[in-house]
């Protein structure tokens, strides 16, 4: 194996140091709502400008992997996801924290993320060129049906209140249409406000719907009490074999979802986690408690969002097409160091690209160790009084949102979504549904519009003529079937949570 020869290149002080730095920065920046991996990677570019290309790129990919994982810390501990790719983890993760199982949640999250990243790294190492050609098969028709597949997750994450969940999702779709229309350049629902011209960003929406709304929820309880209801934290920071066996199929489904969604341009971890989560809910067994701190749900979401990390780099490395913002920033770094993405990268500079990919795989191992060491320290935040946590979270929401874009309007959008998220949660209109609508709206609308143009207003014949679209439509049909079918684990929840 040619690629194996380059493994030894990674084991140098400079590369391991870059990896360590990237992981620390990624974990910290990823954990702060609003900042996230693209900003962390961008921060690393000027630092690594003079470094050898492989060392600089190892720094970038380590920051990327750790940034995605870092977002899960705050999602699990505070219900304040650091990145949109961790939003689904806040559902089961935070419920586990509330029940005094924060450390258990973090260790499962660490295992799922680390293994997801490693598997994804090996797929990147061995299957990059063939998978890159698969990603080229995705056109407007596929984007549209992938968005529809994502929307089926709304029914799953509504926990019994399906009608309210669907309304929330449609509200999200509507919100995604605010701003200047990309095709006609016509402003939609902006009411003359310049700040709305560029639309509602996913970042302010996710921070508002989850983190800011959570801060308002924290104000409800006793200000002296803490989130977890416990006064001591467990020392069991390493995942147990029994837990891994218990969640083996959930982990597998999460990783598979992440690997596949990684090669779909524009989808990434933000969509993968919801598909993995809804798949998990549909496969739930009697005794599972989704929505009440089910570790299987967390394993699936965490496995999927880090399963994306390696495969999302495939279109960028092989074709020069970045699948997301983080990949685009890494592409920029690649070109700054005089490397051209594409086949030639693998042919002309194998020592660089294979060293970087091995660096990515090893960075995931190192991340597991560092994250496990940090887990208990980070979990101390759950012992803070609610009365202190609420204002701290709000301040971080504001500073994170503003730092990410430098746009005061985003702060107002974030606060507005905080209020919407708080009310939605209180009255059982799923905030997750709203977020899904906002994430998937532009993908669905753009895809549908292009399909209409390409098919001369006969979309069905166009969509059904493409085998990938047909395969995804079959998956949608299966997802809808399982959404409507009474779930084995839901028998108890039916009587408890239905408010409709």
Partner 1 sequence: MSKLAAERLVAVCLIIVAAILYTQSTGLPQRAGSFPQFAEISVALLAALIFARTFLESNKKKLEGNVYFEFTYKAWKPVAVMVTSIVYCFAIFKLGFYVSSVVFFFIAAYLTGLRNHKYIFLTAIILFPLVYLFFSIALDAYLPEGILF
Return residues touching partner 1 (CB under 8 A).
Answer: 28, 43, 163-164, 166-167, 170-171, 173-174, 177, 181, 183-184, 186, 188-189, 212, 215-220, 222-224, 385-388, 390-392, 394-395, 398-399, 402-403, 406, 408, 411-412, 415, 418-419, 422, 427, 441, 444-445, 448-449, 452, 498-500
DSSP 240: P
Q: For residues 50 and 499, which CB has a smaller minimum distance to partner 1 in the complex?
A: 499
Closest separation in Å from C-beta 426 to partner 1: 9
Using only C-alpha atoms, the chain has a radius of gyration, in whole angstroms, of 22
Token code pair at residue 378: 């980070």
Closest separation in Å from C-beta 54 to partner 1: 26
Which CA distances in Å does 471 have to 80, 141, 474, 483? 35, 12, 5, 18
Q: For residues 19 and 443, which CB has a smaller minimum distance to partner 1 in the complex?
A: 443
Side-chain-side CA neighbours of 178 within 13 Å: the count stands at: 22
Closest separation in Å from C-beta 178 to partner 1: 9
Distance CA 84, CA 81 (A): 7
Distance CA 266, CA 269 (A): 9
Q: For residues 106 and 438, which CB has a smaller minimum distance to partner 1 in the complex?
A: 438
Distance CA 452, CA 454 (A): 6
Q: For residues 8 and 163, which CB has a smaller minimum distance to partner 1 in the complex?
A: 163
Q: For residues 222 and 242, which CB has a smaller minimum distance to partner 1 in the complex?
A: 222
Q: Which of 39, 131, 123, 67 is nearest to 328 (CA)?
A: 39
Closest separation in Å from C-beta 3 to partner 1: 36
Distance CA 173, CA 440 (A): 7
Closest separation in Å from C-beta 253 to partner 1: 29
> First CA to last CA across the chain, in angstroms?
59
Q: For residues 162 and 300, which CB has a smaller minimum distance to partner 1 in the complex?
A: 162
Distance CA 257, CA 251 (A): 10
Closest separation in Å from C-beta 163 to partner 1: 5
Residue 180 φ then ψ, to 5°: -75, 125
DSSP 487: P
Distance CA 448, CA 146 (A): 11
Closest separation in Å from C-beta 141 to partner 1: 16
Closest separation in Å from C-beta 301 to partner 1: 26
Token code pair at residue 309: 């990390």
Contact in structure between 261 and 55 (CB atoms under 8 Å): no
Q: For residues 224 and 232, which CB has a smaller minimum distance to partner 1 in the complex?
A: 224
Distance CA 407, CA 415 (A): 13
Closest separation in Å from C-beta 263 to partner 1: 26
Q: Within the chain, how many helices (H) and strands (E) appear?
A: 24, 2
Q: For residues 388 and 474, which CB has a smaller minimum distance to partner 1 in the complex?
A: 388
Q: For residues 173 and 353, which CB has a smaller minimum distance to partner 1 in the complex?
A: 173
């Amino acid at each position: 194996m040619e690629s194996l020869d380059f493994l030894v290149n990674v084991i140098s002080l400079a590369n391991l140091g870059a990896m360590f730095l990237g992981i620390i920065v990624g974990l910290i920046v990823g954990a702060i709502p609003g900042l996230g991996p693209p900003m962390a990677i961008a921060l690393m570019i000027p630092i690594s400008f003079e470094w050898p290309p492989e060392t600089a790129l190892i720094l970038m990919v380590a920051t990327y992997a750790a940034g995605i994982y870092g977002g899960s810390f705050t999602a699990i501990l505070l219900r304040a996801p650091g990145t949109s790719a961790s939003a689904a983890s806040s559902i089961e993760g935070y419920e586990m924290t509330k029940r005094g199982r924060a450390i258990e949640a973090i260790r499962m999250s660490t295992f799922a993320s680390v293994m997801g990243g490693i598997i994804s790294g090996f797929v990147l190492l061995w299957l990059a060129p063939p998978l890159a050609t698969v990603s080229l098969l995705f056109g407007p028709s596929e984007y549209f049906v992938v968005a529809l597949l994502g929307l089926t997750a709304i029914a799953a994450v509504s926990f019994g209140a399906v009608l309210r969940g669907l309304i929330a999702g449609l509200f999200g779709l509507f919100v995604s249409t605010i701003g200047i229309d990309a095709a006609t350049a016509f402003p939609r629902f902006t009411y003359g406000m310049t700040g709305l011209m560029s639309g509602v960003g996913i970042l302010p929406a996710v921070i508002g719907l989850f983190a800011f709304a959570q801060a308002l929820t924290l104000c409800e309880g006793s200000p002296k009490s803490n989130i977890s209801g416990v006064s001591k934290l467990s020392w069991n920071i390493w995942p147990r074999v029994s837990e891994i066996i218990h969640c083996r199929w959930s982990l597998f489904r999460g990783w598979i979802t992440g690997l596949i969604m990684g090669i779909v341009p524009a989808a990434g971890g933000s969509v993968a986690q919801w598909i993995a989560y809804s798949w998990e809910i549909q496969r739930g067994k009697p005794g599972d408690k989704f929505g009440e701190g089910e570790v299987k749900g967390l394993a699936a979401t965490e496995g999927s969002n880090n399963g994306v990390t390696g495969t999302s780099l495939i279109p960028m490395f092989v074709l020069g097409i970045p699948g997301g913002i983080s990949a685009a920033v890494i592409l920029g770094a690649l070109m700054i160091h005089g490397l051209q993405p594409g086949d030639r990268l693998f042919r002309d500079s194998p020592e660089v690209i294979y060293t970087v990919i091995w660096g990515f795989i090893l960075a995931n191992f190192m991340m597991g160790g560092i994250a496990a060491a940090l887990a208990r320290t980070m979990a101390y935040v759950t012992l803070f009084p609610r009365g202190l946590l609420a204002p701290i979270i709000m301040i971080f929401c504001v500073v994170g949102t503003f730092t990410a874009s430098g746009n005061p309007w985003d702060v107002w959008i974030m606060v507005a979504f905080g209020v919407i998220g708080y009310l939605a949660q209180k009255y059982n209109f799923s905030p997750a549904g709203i977020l899904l609508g906002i994430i998937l709206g532009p993908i669905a609308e753009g895809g549908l519009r292009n399909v209409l143009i390409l098919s001369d207003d006969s979309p069905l014949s166009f969509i059904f003529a493409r085998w990938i679209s047909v395969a995804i439509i079959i998956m949608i049909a299966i997802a809808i079937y399982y959404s409507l079918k009474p779930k084995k684990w839901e028998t108890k929840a039916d009587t408890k949570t239905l408010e409709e």
